Structure 1
Amino acid sequence: MILRFSTAYPFKTRFSQILCAYCHEEYDTLALLRYHMKTEHLNSDFKNVFYRTKDNLVKVDITDLACKICNEEIPDIDALMSHFCHKHGKSVKFNARFGVLPYKQTVDSNFLCVYCQRVFLDFVNFKRHIGVHFMNFSCDKCGTTFLSAHALRDHHRQVKCFRTAYKPRNGRIMKPRGNAEIILQYTTACPFRTWKNNFNCVFCRVQFSDPTSLRDHMATRHANYDVQTAFYKKLGKEFLKIDITDLQCKLCFMPIVDFDGLTYHLKNDHHQPLNTDAQLGVLPFRLNDGSIWKCTMCPNEFKDFVSLKMHTSQHFQNYVCDTCGEGFITESAMIAHTKIPHENKYSCSRCIATFSSLDERNIHVKTQHTSMPYMCNYCKEKPRFANWELRKKHLMEVHNYKTGADKYECSTCQKSFKTRSGKYNHMARTHRMKKDTELNYPCPSCPKAFTTKLFLDKHIAKKHYDV
């Protein structure tokens, strides 16, 4: 369809040489090839183009791309296929690859990648680069990606990739960042940074107080950004934050409702090489207009973005320190954490005291460096009091606190408990007060139960490390 109804000119290559796909005549530049095509092969048979290509993609020159039906100029292949479908009623399979590798030259005869907007001075370097955007076939054993199924079959036939010392020579290993690059490349997910209560552009660091202004800025100033530049230097090995408020697929323009649907759609409908065994490398947020802070992974809502950010990171903390139970998003972060001795590694910023845990340091700061050391843990505002009697009075008047053995009373059934955690677990189990969640992860060594496996692992690491 592309060759028949557009001015995309097919060609082949032999090392750094450019060959006509019909007669195999050699040319030094694509400009000479285009002139040859216009004069010699306007009505040529396409069989020569696909001869011995197997399942490889056909290289096409789209420098002067236009529709032959209506003569409208088209910027790239994706826009061309949408044009065929909507303007001329052609049957386009958007859930399959379009079968071509697009080469485009600028006015200065440089080569422009239409997918990441990078410019290359010579043909050889661009030829090596363009295949990166079409590595859609991945090895199940080692994760190496390839341009075609034929190359993947050769890899299975020739390479012993099950060996631990194996290092891939062709393609690349798909890690969390590779997954994140695919998500940014083929969806309208908006990357961003945060500084205090502001949302920052990852490219020019312009600050916005509301998410809507950030999305408008990205749409007008960075519509065709280079995916590589979204991973700014200070990000390190952490995950990139993305806004999925108006999430759509760039390949077929289908709206995507949730984050799980995004990965399923890209992998199954468009055969993108997302490695589901690795993490996706992004922290998804649905920022909306900034009035509602709701988690994209569960039904919980929060009063501000800072609380939402802390909660969202817990969904991706798949690595837990066996010593202190602290959770981490990436394995490298946990390894860096374990290299630091756990004895007295937390220091007070106001004095020379050191502590073995964050809880000990927090207690020290609250009791030694404040004139209001007593805090109410039940109020959202966390008010403080100068002495224990004032806090006790507050607890009795506001939170039904009682003196004696049973100090914590359930406001629903008036049952009393000795500890606050006992009352909390009672409310979660009996009255389902914890929003849309249940304590599905019981501890095998004690009666406690938890809402997530991460919290259970932290509890075991802290309380039952000797089991």
Structure 2
Amino acid sequence: ITSLKCNICSSNIESLEELLTHLKDVHEKTIHTDVKNQIVPFKFDSDFLRCFMCLNVFTSFKPLNQHMKKHYRNYICKACDEGFVNKFTLNVHEQIHKNGTFKCDHCAKIFDTIQKKKMHEKSVHEMRSSKCGFCNEAFKNYRHKVKHLIQVHGVPSRTHVCQACNKEFLVARSLNDHVRKGHLMER
């Protein structure tokens, strides 16, 4: 950090703690003590988020924070050499490399790394990514959601037709698999 400055009155500030005290006492700002205070290397001066290093624009904070790992490799993971802006994110990341016994929170499956457990839980048990836009019913995959939309809500089907045999598919990937396995004899 080269310098800190109050954006309200342009006073030069020596430390993060001094800035918080200044904002509270001088400008009567509410300081939340239930969250950890840290200096973030971003400038929030408009409706969008821009990396001040390369000027890329982001729609939300999470992808910008991920992106900053390219510029700030302050803390390096010894297992995979990935860089992190701060020690906290490095510590969170390092958990994926730990070996042990990790049981799925939803079924009896056991995994040797937490990353494998999380990937399993997301792909098998998490249905958040495929919700019906009409009734919010959740589905394990896109194909089940499309079938639901057609049968329950009467959404016209956008079928994909095989040029070789005229068989119809709801999902383009299913058509591609069919052509590869059924007509090109790929296994």
Structure 1 or 2, whichever has the larger Rg, is 1
Give the shorter-chain TM-score range: 0.3 to 0.5
State TM-score, norm by structure 1.
0.22
State TM-score, norm by structure 2.
0.45
Which one scores higher on RCO, CA 8 angstroms, separation ≥ 6?
1
